[in-house]
């Protein structure tokens, strides 16, 4: 027995057992892609105009703070949503030059509109480049936020990509609860903390007399006994004292009295400092926790709260609380999204595709096995053993990496089968050439594997590079094809070269062979 067989055979057995254990049973271990098992296909449109609106409101707050720092007297600063601009109402006409200097230094993307008759009213517009930049950022940030939410939701091999200027394509294989997934993806998740306007009457506000700087938002209240959902109105200060931008964590916790789930929040150092200051300055006042313009709770601040922790209660189910924690951790969408297309791919298409894919693999495999047996005789048996092991390794690797098997992935498996056999053909033809020139069987096998090795490596490396490029720049099914091809190449190198050579060596060490059946 050759000395190196003492470690080669156990290594091959270990790899094969591991691959078999990883991939069995196939229906549980191998993830199927959207085209095979069905799932959700969504096309979302980002409302980029809302992103501009939010930017203008934030810009108005920042500009007001900067004007106050410069001791400039301004009556008010209004965001002109439809005109994509700001209106600054001054108390003194002489302050116009100071405001212009301030804006040119800190807000160069604001363009001044020609002054009208009213010298106390300054109007600035966002430049077209800035508006375009806000639109692009809204789509790219929305893409990343949705991707984070889907990743935390636990969907395997999702496809999320930008389509056109403002659309996002989302494909989620295997999703069965469509409404829950849509709610998770489409929630803007804009978290705000707002003080209640307790100086004015909610009844007057409901009658139409809403004080300036205040707004009416509703809290969703579920009756514990009847289950009836009611909306309780609250009069809130319109300006948020703290937002979710400073949030660092959101986890599901449970109330010790009623065992009801709630979401526990933690803030970063800046958020913790602001939260402590807010609670210190507003003891005995009510602070509303608002998510997407819906009030979740309005607790009374009993004392100053340090440590940067808060919680959202709202009679959640565990599933609701978990999804809320996910969207808060993933961050808010920069702008709301509208669902333009919502399709659920049925399982019938997947079953049909799987059946045809399996049939093509079986038919192709049988033809290849028969041809190899006829053409290379007993040596063809070794090639066929390597071929079967190659598929086992490929399935094990797919299961280990959690990669999804797609219809293009099946095509990748078929291509890999051809490449694995091609490697054996290269080796066997070199062995034949060595036998024809009169070498012994042992010498012919050594020379055949040595001469074919470089050719096999060269061919597989170039294909592997192409597969890596496909994986890097491709999306969805193309990635599935690239993954299958990469794994298949590595597996075929192992089986066609290493395993085949080990089998030849084992046979040669077991008995003396004068003539090789090849």
H helices present in 402-516, as ranges: 407-436, 441-473, 477-493, 500-510
- pLDDT class of 61 with cuts at 50, 70, 90: confident
pLDDT over 60 (residue 348): no
Report CA dihedral (181, 153, 315, 283) to the nearest 10 degrees: -120
Is-contact 66 435, C-beta < 8 A?
A: no
CB-based contact 480:406 (threshold 8 Å): yes
pLDDT level of residue 476 (50, 70, 90 thresholds): low
Percentage of the chain beyond pLDDT 90 is 3
Task: For residue 92, give the DSSP letter.
Answer: -
Instruction: Say whether 220 sits in a helix, a strand or coil.
Output: strand
Q: Which CATH number fits domain 4-36+347-510: 1.10.8.590, 1.10.10.10, 3.40.50.300, 1.20.1640.10?
A: 1.20.1640.10
Cis-peptide into 347, omega within 30 deg: no
Highest averaged pLDDT of the listed ranges 216-230, 276-290, 319-333 = 276-290
Strand order in the sheet with 309-312: 247-254, 261-267, 309-312
pLDDT over threshold 80, residue 33: no
Domain 190-328 has CATH 3.30.1360.200: yes
Distance of CA 346 to the CA centre of its chain: 23
pLDDT at position 236: 92
* Higher pLDDT, residue 424 or 189: 424
Least confident of 136-140, 244-248, 271-275, 457-461: 244-248
Domain boundaries, the chain: 4-36+347-510, 49-128, 190-328
Planar angle of CA 367, 371, 376, nearest 5 degrees: 150
Query: Does pTM top 0.85 for this prediction?
Result: no
DSSP classification of residue 113: P
- How high is the mean pLDDT of the chain? 83
Distance CA 206, CA 141 (A): 37
What number is the average pLDDT over the span 277-297? 86
Q: Where are the alpha helices (DSSP H) in 343-440?
A: 347-401, 407-436
- Which of 11-25, 60-74, 145-159, 466-480 is the most confident on average? 11-25
Q: Which two tokens stand for residue 377?
A: 């005789």
Q: How far apart are CA 228 and CA 207, in angstroms?
A: 25
User: Each residue of 239-278: pLDDT tens digit?
Assistant: 888 888 788 888 888 877 777 788 888 888 888 888 888 8
CATH number for the segment(s) 49-128:
3.30.1240
Give the pLDDT of residue 477: 66
The model's pLDDT over 141-187, given as tens digits with 9 standing for 90+, comes to: 888 888 888 877 777 667 788 888 889 988 888 777 778 888 888 88
Cα distance between residue 407 and residue 126, in whole Å = 48
The total of other beta-carbon atoms located within 10 Å of residue 478's CB is 15
Query: What pLDDT shows up at residue 216?
Result: 92
Question: Which tops the pLDDT comparison, 34 or 289?
Answer: 289
Supply 345's token pair: 């791919």
Percent of the residues in the chain that have a pLDDT greater than 70, as a whole number: 95
Are the C-beta atoms of residues 218 and 295 closer than 8 Å to each other?
A: yes
Kindly tell me if the per-residue pLDDT of 221 is higher than 60. Answer: yes
- Between 154 and 505, the more confident residue is 505
The answer to which of 50-59, 160-169, 189-198, 320-329 has the lowest mean pLDDT is: 320-329
pLDDT band at 55 (very low <50, low <70, confident <90, very high): confident
Output 484 or 346, whichever has higher pLDDT: 484
Phi, then psi, of 123 in degrees rounded to 5: -125, 130
């Amino acid at each position: 027995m050759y000395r190196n067989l003492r470690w080669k055979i156990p290594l091959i057995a270990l790899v094969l057992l591991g691959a078999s254990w990883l991939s069995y049973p196939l229906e549980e271990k191998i993830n199927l892609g959207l085209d095979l098992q069905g799932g959700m296909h969504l096309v979302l449109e980002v409302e980029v105009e809302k992103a501009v609106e939010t930017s203008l409101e934030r810009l108005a707050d920042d500009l007001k703070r900067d004007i106050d720092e410069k001791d400039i007297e301004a009556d008010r600063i209004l965001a002109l949503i439809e005109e994509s601009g700001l209106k600054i109402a001054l108390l003194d006409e002489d302050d116009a030059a100071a405001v212009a200097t301030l804006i040119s230094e800190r807000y160069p993307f604001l363009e001044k509109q020609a002054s009208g008759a009213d010298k106390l009213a300054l109007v600035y517009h966002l430049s077209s480049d800035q508006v375009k930049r806000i639109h692009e950022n809204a789509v790219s940030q929305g893409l990343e936020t949705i991707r984070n939410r889907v990743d935390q939701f636990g969907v395997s091999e999702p496809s999320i990509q930008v389509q056109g200027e403002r659309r996002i394509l989302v494909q989620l294989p295997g999703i069965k609860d469509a409404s829950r997934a849509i709610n998770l993806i489409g929630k803007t998740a804009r978290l705000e903390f707002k003080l209640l306007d307790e100086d004015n009457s909610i009844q007057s506000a409901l009658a139409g007399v809403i004080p300036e700087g205040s707004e009416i938002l509703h809290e969703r209240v579920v009756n514990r006994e009847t289950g009836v959902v009611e909306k309780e109105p609250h009069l809130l200060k319109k300006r948020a004292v703290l937002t979710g931008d400073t949030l660092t964590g959101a986890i599901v916790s449970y109330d010790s009295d009623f065992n009801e789930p709630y979401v526990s929040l933690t803030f970063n150092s800046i958020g913790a400092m602001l939260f402590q200051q807010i609670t210190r300055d507003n003891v005995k006042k009510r602070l509303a926790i608002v998510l997407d313009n819906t009030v979740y709770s309005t607790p009374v601040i009993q004392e100053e709260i340090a440590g940067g922790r808060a919680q959202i209660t709202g009679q959640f189910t565990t599933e609701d609380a978990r999804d809320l924690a996910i969207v808060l951790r993933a961050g808010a969408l920069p702008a709301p999204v509208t669902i333009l297309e919502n399709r659920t791919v049925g399982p019938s298409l997947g079953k049909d595709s799987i059946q045809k894919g399996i049939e093509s693999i079986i038919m192709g495999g049988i033809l290849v096995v028969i041809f190899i047996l006829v053409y290379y005789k007993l040596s063809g048996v070794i090639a066929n053993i390597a071929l079967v092991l190659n598929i086992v390794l490929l399935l094990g690797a797919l299961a280990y990496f959690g990669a999804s098997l797609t219809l293009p992935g099946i095509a990748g498996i078929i291509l890999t089968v051809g490449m694995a056999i091609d490697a054996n053909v290269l080796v066997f033809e070199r062995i034949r050439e060595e036998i024809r020139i009169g070498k012994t069987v042992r010498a012919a096998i050594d020379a055949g594997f040595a001469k074919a090795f470089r050719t096999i490596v060269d061919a597989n490396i170039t294909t592997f590079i192409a597969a890596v490029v496909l994986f890097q720049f491709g999306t969805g099914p193309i990635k599935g094809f690239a993954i299958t091809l990469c794994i298949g190449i590595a597996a075929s190198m192992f089986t066609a070269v290493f395993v085949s050579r080990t089998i030849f060596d084992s046979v040669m060490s077991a008995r003396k062979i004068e003539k090789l059946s090849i």
